Chain A
Amino acid sequence: MTSIDDVQTAAVGVSRRRRAISTGRRGDKIFRGAALGSGVFVLVIMGAIAAFLVWKAIPALQANQGSFLTDTEWRANSDPPRFGIAQLAFGTVMSAFLALLMATPVAIGIALFISFYAPRKLADGLGFIVDLLAAVPSIIYGLWGLHFLVMNSDGVVSFLNTYLGWIPLFAGENVGGQSLFIGSVVLAIMILPIISSISREVFLQVPTPHIEAAQALGATRWETIRLSVLPYGRSGVISAMMLGLGRALGETVAIALVLSTVAGINWHILEPGGNTFAANIVRTFGESGEIGRSALIASGLVLFVITMIVNMAARAIVSRRKEFTE
């Protein structure tokens, strides 16, 4: 008793239902494709950054009459161009390490303060204040560093020079002003919140049984931290330091404003001078020609590689720690 019409309507019904389902599948495919595409695009950007920097760095490296790695002067726009990264590398690494040296104890102190010493109701608010430090843009730290800190730090600087001058770093004749030391202080302030917020997170993850084990032995608060918290959090704190180091290595405008341009490597960090990869780029970019720009890109490539290595090492430590604790 089935007429052709019936079959047709049934078929239409089926096909309609099929289409409804397949629309869902097609939507799924498109959406999945878009999500996957975006993820892959992120990888492409990373690859493109490396590729284009290399590509555009080559002309200057070929034209360079000096030694790229060991020359201390940057004359990329003279004819023939002579430039080397020695001074930049020195200033970058020195300022970043000094900043790390100053910031780490303070940052760990803050993290301990917020997680174990501050009253619980206050802890959140204090964490927020530290996060605000991170929200202040680097250009404003630079402005503050140049037009406030540099002018008001001569006392501290000459104190260090007078009493710690026997340490070669703090020696020198005309100390004060726009020095690598002040630049490092500004960097230290900037990386402080990074190190402290990651350390804080790690400290909060210390399992209660570990802490109670120390407490039940009759450990004081500090002994509890030394026995239980610091050993557990050590790798986390190390990776936090490395992330802070990465940030300090790549920081640009704050340090570019605070340092003054004096050629050459100067171990006397209290004296004016110092230069970094990033600062050199923004300072000389304006007057650079084609080879000059290419040379700056080459120096940026070196910075990129250094920060990549530091960051990857930090991440590797974090993920190893995750495997260890899970």
Chain B
Amino acid sequence: MAKRIEVSGLNAYYGGFLAVEDVSMTIEPRSVTAFIGPSGCGKSTFLRTLNRMHEVIPGARVDGKVMLDDQDLYGDKVDPVAVRRVVGMVFQRPNPFPTMSIYDNVAAGLKLNGVKGKSELDGIVETSLKGANLWNEVKDRLPKPGAGLSGGQQQRLCIARAIAVQPQVLLMDEPCSALDPISTLAIEDLIAQLKSQYTIVIVTHNMQQAARVSDRTAFFNIAGTGKPGKLIELDETSKIFTNPTEKATEDYITGRFG
């Protein structure tokens, strides 16, 4: 189910402003790839180009290629809506649908895709909530509103919602930055479990987190304000944090700037 992503020569724009310049990389299936770098370096923008969420911002556009196995996400006949079905996303702040119950939140994507049978829905909702390590906490209150959960639970609910449609890739945009340390730990454990099934890409501003959860790490950087963000290097996480090739990476991870 998990797929390999190959990006080549990707540029992302906001109107006339080039936010990310000429990124090429390969993201391996069934592994966790972390994006790190100073704020404004384009790591989140780049992440959003991987499921075509970048272009929902008015004026934003992308050129370059993003291959999911052998299909280009930016190909002529590709429907961005369909792309987002196979490349799921979890956001910085947990964003369950506020008016929906826990159950309906998880089932939302399934219902869109025409899954109607009650027993089928029940089954997938349970699997997804178990997959997000949330089942035991909410199984007795599935009809209660999702907004009533704690922040960490809400974020796991959002992960359950994302994996319920069985995507091939899961993108996470700083999923723990709004959470307390205990909830963060729960999410990190979850990521470690999920990678056996999904290709996971996580943006984080926290280098320890990248070191803890990821197999490979990509470092992004900008030359200055108003300059585009660039990929500096991508390698095994252990190598990036102990013996990076580029000097800029070393400066960043040793805290000399950023």
Contact = CB atoms under 8 A, between A and B. Distances in A.
A contacts B: CB pair < 8 Å: yes
Interface of A: 120, 209-220, 223, 227-228, 231-232
Nearest to B94: A209
B91 A217 contact: no
Interface stretch (B82-90, B205-213, B234-242): B82-90
Interface stretch (B37-45, B157-165, B183-191): B157-165
Interface string B58-96: 100000000000000000000001111110110101011
18 contacts: A209-B93, A210-B98, A212-B53, A212-B91, A213-B97, A214-B97, A214-B108, A216-B53, A216-B88, A217-B88, A218-B82, A218-B83, A218-B109, A219-B81, A219-B109, A219-B112, A227-B108, A228-B97
Nearest to B83: A218
A320 to B, nearest CB: 15
Given A217-B109, A218-B82, A218-B165, 16 more contacts: A209-B93, A210-B97, A210-B98, A212-B53, A213-B95, A213-B97, A216-B84, A216-B91, A217-B84, A217-B108, A217-B162, A218-B109, A231-B97, A231-B99, A231-B100, A232-B98
Interface in B94-122: 95-100, 108-109, 112-113
Query: Which of A212, A214, A216, A232 has the largest count of B CB atoms less than 10 A from its CB?
Result: A216
Contacts of B109: 217-219
B121 to A, nearest CB: 15
A216 B58 contact: no
Contacts of B31: none
B99 A223 contact: no
B182 interface: no
Contacts of B89: 212, 216
Contacts of B223: none
Nearest to A324: B98
Interface of B: 51, 53, 56, 58, 81-86, 88-89, 91, 93, 95-100, 108-109, 112-113, 158, 161-162, 165
Contacts, number: 65
Task: Label chain A's interface by main secondary structure.
Answer: helix
Contacts of B165: 217-218
Contacts of B83: 218
The 6 A-B residue pairs with the shortest CB-CB distance in the complex, in nearest-first order: A218-B85, A209-B95, A216-B89, A231-B99, A217-B109, A218-B84
A53 to B, nearest CB: 42
Contact of A120 (B58, B96, B99): B58
A211 B100 CA distance: 14
A213 B99 contact: no
Contact of A215 (B56, B82, B86): B56
A218 B169 CA distance: 13
Nearest to B52: A215
Contact of A210 (B53, B82, B95): B95
B178 to A, nearest CB: 11
A156 to B, nearest CB: 38
Contacts of B158: 213
A227 B85 CA distance: 16
Contacts of A210: 95, 97-98
A220 B56 CA distance: 12
A216 B81 contact: no
A220 B81 contact: yes
Contact of B91 (A213, A218, A231): A213
Nearest to A228: B97
Contacts of A232: 98-99
A212 B108 contact: no
Contacts of A217: 84-85, 88, 108-109, 112, 161-162, 165
Contact of B84 (A209, A211, A215, A231): A215
Contacts of A213: 91, 95-97, 158, 161
A232 B82 CA distance: 25
Contacts of A228: 97
B97 A227 contact: yes
Contacts of B81: 218-220
B248 to A, nearest CB: 31
Nearest to A220: B81
A140 to B, nearest CB: 37
A231 B112 contact: no
A227 B84 CA distance: 16
Nearest to B82: A218
Contact of B98 (A211, A220, A231): A231
A6 to B, nearest CB: 64
